[in-house]
Chain A
């Protein structure tokens, strides 16, 4: 009985999550007439699919071309996530294994300090970041946005990874050091291979947050470096038809879906059974 209930819930939840996506997906292949017909989902049966919406956003019809924006978003998200996961991971390892601090303030306060940066609404940071990048001549550049996004993504990575490293028995580091590794080699040879699930989770979060950033992209980049969310929003403000908007929505989440599929297999490999009994 409970099994039936479980499956029923899973099916319901899957439909609940997938319904809006599938609606956007089928809409992106519809003609104006098909859109106005109401809720239809099955191509070739309920409506005749067309690629017009996709041609509009891929620069084929001459209406808009989101491909350069996609490339900008990829560059920015890739480097911002890479730097966040690398530096954040090392910081988290340090905070998990060594004691830092002054008087009553210790590691937990440092971790709180990291995550507290996320408490600030981005809008508070907009003017400081704008002025900072202006003085550094980094406005409307890839590097500028990468640095700003990294500062926001790193706290999330540190926060996630400290907890993860805390679960890996300290004796594994000690053992690697006893076997001739200095602390950095112990991290690289013994701890890092065990950290794949933690790295995968952090990377997924960093990539999703980085990819979906709209606010800083709108404030700190203009014409040279326009990211995909900013470009999609710009389309939204014009007389762009629904089917084209639907295509742009699907287009902008495709890379994320691909990334999660690739990284997901590392998630399943958690657990340290056999490390310490």
Chain B
């Protein structure tokens, strides 16, 4: 029951929407498509669903040509980022709709629908119409509709995007459990959020400009991004990428801060590189060999952390500091860069060495 894409591409005039997508999706696993907005995640999902025609390549399901099947014969379910439901039907009516054509008797279908409504925690709202529900509840209805058919392919296009923070956390937790009910389906989940990818996914596919630029186990991709672009996409806030140099046994950043070559970089040839640092690994304060003074551009509090965006002589740097701190634009701050945590990329952006755990 695998879904196989071979060199799939969509060209619209001179625009390349998808290019050279080759991948095999196996049932029972959750695949996370991750990429920035307009990276091609939605286009890929719509192509799989048959809502968008591809111009190059092939698509097979279970070894058979999938392209010849129209959307309504593909056994595909989809949850959109906007919460889409039938506004004229009740919650029960909405969840029943996909079962209407399944051949189940009315009583069986109703029992099944009510069970699913209960599973998504909406049993006391079964008689309400979607317009009378909150955003999170509406999205649960959409999810229930998608799950109830046990489709061969389940597509979730940033389903938590338009929900508030708390609800997102809660639904994210629920997802793992809900997905285990669909062991025979290929589940594809698109998101822009690394935390979601790590929590939900068995496999992570990083997309950029219509192509899959890296795939693998989420933690693996997170630890070993193969390029600066992947590193920027899978880290939230994005990595700070600074100019670096190795020469004569020293490691320098921005040609100014120098230290001994850290252990993971020993043995690399002399030359110019780019060094990436996760925001959580940079610290405020001036300690050690590598310290730098920067000027606060923006500082924002996110949950129990503070994100500080700084202009430094070496480049734009993002620091994530534990706790809630007040900084205003223009404040001067010292930051400490840990060379042993550097992701080293060559000048064309390919990974040379990752720091490891």
State the A residues within 8 Å of B (CB). Answer: 169, 171-172, 174-182, 185, 189-190, 193-194, 271-277
Complex Cα distance A174/B97, Å? 14
Interface string of B59-79 (1 = CB under 8 A from A): 000000000001110101110
Assuming the contacts A174-B51, A179-B97, A179-B149, asked whether A277 and B78 have C-beta atoms less than 8 A apart, the reply is: no
Assuming the contacts A178-B77, A178-B78, asked whether A275 and B84 have C-beta atoms less than 8 A apart, the reply is: yes
Complex Cα distance A180/B151, Å? 11
Assuming the contacts A180-B72, A273-B131, A274-B129, asked whether A193 and B78 have C-beta atoms less than 8 A apart, the reply is: no
Which of A178, A194, A271, A277 interacts with B76 by CB under 8 Å?
A: A178
Q: How far is the CB of B339 from chain A (nearest CB, A)?
A: 47
Q: Are A177 and B80 in contact (CB under 8 A)?
A: no
Q: Are A194 and B88 in contact (CB under 8 A)?
A: yes
Complex Cα distance A185/B101, Å? 11
Complex Cα distance A176/B100, Å? 11
Which A residues are CB-close (under 8 A) to B273? none
Q: Are A194 and B71 in contact (CB under 8 A)?
A: no
Say what secondary structure dominates the interface of chain B. Answer: loop
- Complex: chain A residue closest to B70, CB-CB: A182
Q: Are A171 and B72 in contact (CB under 8 A)?
A: no
Besides A177-B51, A177-B72, 14 other CB < 8 A contacts?
A169-B84, A175-B86, A177-B70, A178-B74, A179-B77, A180-B98, A180-B100, A180-B149, A194-B87, A271-B87, A274-B129, A274-B132, A275-B87, A277-B135
Which B residues are CB-close (under 8 A) to A189? 97, 100
What is the interface residue range for chain B against chain A?
Answer: 20 to 34
Q: Are A180 and B138 in contact (CB under 8 A)?
A: no
Complex Cα distance A172/B87, Å? 10
Which B residues are CB-close (under 8 A) to A185? 72
Which B residues are CB-close (under 8 A) to A182? 70, 72
* B35 interface contact, C-beta 8 A: no
Q: Are A181 and B101 in contact (CB under 8 A)?
A: yes
Which B residues are CB-close (under 8 A) to A181? 72, 101
Interface string of B294-328 (1 = CB under 8 A from A): 00000000000000000000000000000000000
Q: List 26 A-B contacts (CB under 8 A).
A: A171-B80, A174-B49, A174-B78, A175-B78, A175-B86, A175-B145, A177-B70, A178-B76, A179-B72, A179-B98, A180-B98, A180-B102, A180-B149, A181-B72, A189-B97, A274-B85, A274-B130, A274-B131, A274-B132, A274-B138, A275-B86, A275-B130, A276-B80, A276-B83, A277-B83, A277-B138
Complex Cα distance A179/B109, Å? 15
* B11 interface contact, C-beta 8 A: no
